[in-house]
Amino acid sequence: MSMEDYDYLFKIVLIGNAGVGKTCLVRRFTQGLFPPGQGATIGVDFMIKTVEIRGEKVKLQIWDTAGQERFRSITQSYYRSANALILTYDITCEDSFRCLPEWLREIEQYANNQVVTILVGNKIDLAEKREVLRQKAEDFAESQSMLYLETSAKESDNVEKLFLDLACELIREAKQNKLDNTDSAPMPGEGKAISYLSCCSLN
């Protein structure tokens, strides 16, 4: 496949506290593995995966940012051109949930206002250690017009679904945008803000 051989190109950026499992989610999706002894991300990491959705090739550029505070000024610069943000917390760590309003302020400040944001509660394989009730997280996501999904990078639960549903939604937006702007066709992914997924349900 040549470099240009795709119908859509979307940029997805993962953000959230250190240690919530961003790198593991990306590795699981792009490489199908759960890396042992994963070190903290330094700055930003980048991976690509091309998927096919209903006969169309979709190239996903996935940016995995460091959660540690000291990298914040580097990671912020990656928000602006993101088509989608995956805001991740750890369901076994109340603190990572409590920090979400802080992350939302970052998004408001640095991301483009049409970005699609999904809240992800990771590590559901550790059900006995859960500190954040699903209902509480769902309510919070709804109050902020975010989608919500719970995952396990370790057990590969909902990881494929997370990225494919996002890709589906971004395609839907891009198509809608093209219909709305027949004169000046926008770049794929420069769609309008949305409040729910219509082509692939997240439930």
Which long-range contacts (C-beta less than 8 Å, at least 24 apart) are formed by 128-134?
Answer: 129/92, 130/91, 130/92, 131/91, 131/92, 131/93, 131/94, 131/97, 132/89, 132/91, 132/93, 132/94, 132/97, 134/91
Q: Which is nearer to ligand GTP, 154 or 161 (CB)?
A: 154
Q: Tell me if 19 contacts ligand GTP by CB under 6 A.
A: yes
Count of residues that bind ligand GTP according to CB under 6 A = 20
Name the minimum Å distance from CB 124 to ligand GTP: 7
> What is the pattern of x (binds ligand GTP, CB under 6 A) and - over residues 100-139?
----------------------xx-xx-------------
- With respect to ligand GTP, which residue has the nearer C-beta, 57 or 154? 154
Residue with tokens 């949930």: 97
CB-CB contact of 82 with 107 (8 Å): no
Determine if 176 is a binding residue for ligand GTP (CB under 6 A).
no
The SS3 assignment for 40 reads: coil
Q: Where are the alpha helices (DSSP H) in the chain?
A: 22-31, 72-76, 94-98, 100-110, 134-143, 159-180
Nearer to ligand GTP, 106 or 125 (CB): 125
Interactions with ligand GTP, residue window 35-54 (CB under 6 A):
38, 40-41
Closer to ligand GTP by CB, 42 or 199: give it: 42
Residue 158 as a binder of ligand GTP (CB under 6 A): the answer is no
Choose the stretch contacting ligand GTP; rule: CB under 6 A; options: 19-27, 107-115, 133-141, 162-170: 19-27
Residue 60 CA to residue 9 CA, distance in Å, equals 6
Our finding on whether 153 is near ligand GTP (CB under 6 A) is: yes
From CA 203, how far away is CA 195, in angstroms rounded? 14
Binding interface with ligand GTP (CB under 6 A) = 18-24, 38, 40-41, 66-68, 122-123, 125-126, 152-154
